[in-house]
Amino acid sequence: MAKSLLFIPDISGFTKFVQTTEVEHSQHVIAELLEVLIASNTQELELAEVEGDALFFYKEDEVLSQERLLAQIETMFIAFHSHLKLLEKNRICPCNACATAPELQLKLVAHCGELQYLSVQGKRKPFGQEVIEAHRLLKNSVDSDNYALISKELASTIELPIYYYSKVFRFREGQDDYDGKEVAYIYSLIDAKKLKLISFYEGKKVRFETPPNLRNEASLPISAPALLEYITNYRLRHLWVKGADRFEYNENEVTRMGSEHICVVNGKHLDFVTVTKEVMGNQLVYGEMTTSPPPVDALYQFYIVTPVSDTACKLEVQTYWTAKSPLKKVLLALLLKRVFRKNVATSVRDLVELVTEKVAS
């Protein structure tokens, strides 16, 4: 029987991250990272199972060459650390989950052997001693949380030198005792600074030379970070922005600069992207911009939250718009400014009522 490849990327620090941070955002962060790892599977590996903070891949009756295996490992580390950098640079949420997400790391174990298979509810997955051994290798004595580990069995099969090194890899030997059996492996610590990270959209602060066209203010009996969650969590948007048919967004993404969502009103799609602007040091800000609603060329709305105490804050909503043509400017002055003013005031009022009711209950 031909040997098969077993390949397990595992997010380091998952347990502590989930236990010590905000549950919903930590779940979103981990889900995003797992999706990134799955998308970076360039060698047509089969995904057997998502194991909480890890992915269990295999390639039946085939073992990748050393060039393809190392390329796959490097690709996954690049994708993982590129996404961590995106989370860090485009973060707007102050919660502990979003703040500490860039500290997560990745360990990756690769092994090979003859496999048996188990079918449960029509799904076939690898089973047996080699699968157990691959998972045991995740519990090792490597003094790092960011590394690639390849079993001696796999290294020998693909003729990977024990002390192979390159710009990214510098392998060394290791071994551990598992139930009285010595299992040898080679491993390489991965320095994220040596990876050629993928470029991404980096949000920039928007600046205006004029005061906002509209300004609304309110006081709320809730902490500033908690209010920001109400505003940035699109799952809650329909509770205080009335008149929309629905909101479309990525349910597994923490809102950040560059995040997109769609507001559908009377069948028309208004496309929004998250932006930000400069505020005072202790203030929190969320902004969104659209070029969809006529007759404006661009519409910006910023929610600026100022802490008052641990259980109170002030909200200021600033609305800006741009219109180049004289006709658009006339329409805005005569009619649409009143519509915008009414809609924003209603949304702020409904947000205050929603938060107040939630706090009281």
CA 161 to chain centre: 36
Domain with CATH 3.30.70.1230 in the chain: 4-194
CA-based Rg of the chain, rounded to a whole angstrom? Answer: 26
pLDDT at 20 over 80: no
Indicate if the pLDDT at residue 121 is higher than 90: no
Residue 296, pLDDT score: 84
* Least confident segment among 5-9, 104-108, 202-206, 266-270: 202-206
Residue 21: per-residue pLDDT: 67
What is the predicted pLDDT for the residue at 292?
85
Query: Is pLDDT of 133 > 90?
Result: yes
Cβ neighbours of residue 88 closer than 8 Å, sequence gap 6 or more: 101, 102
* Mean of pLDDT over the chain: 93
How far is 201 from 220, CA to CA, in rounded Å? 34
Q: How confident is the model at residue 150 (pLDDT cuts 50, 70, 90)?
A: very high
pLDDT score recorded for residue 204 = 79
Q: What angle do CA 237, 238, 241 make, to 5 degrees?
A: 80
DSSP bridge partners of 322: 298
Cα 202 to Cα 68: distance, rounded to the nearest angstrom: 31
Closest CA to 30 of 16, 42, 47: 16
> Which pTM was predicted?
0.90
Sort strands 105-113 and 147-151 into parallel, antiparallel or unpaired. Answer: parallel
pLDDT number for residue 252 = 86
**Whole-number pLDDT of residue 180:** 85
Report the top-level CATH class of 4-194: alpha beta
Q: What pLDDT, on the 0 to 100 scale, is given for residue 11? A: 95
Residue 143 scores a pLDDT above 80: yes
Q: Provide CATH 3.30.530.20 ranges for the chain.
A: 206-360
Homologous superfamily of domain range 206-360? START domain (3.30.530.20)
Give the pLDDT of residue 115.
93
Closest CA to 318 of 220, 188, 208: 208
Lowest mean pLDDT among 89-93, 117-121, 180-184, 288-292: 117-121
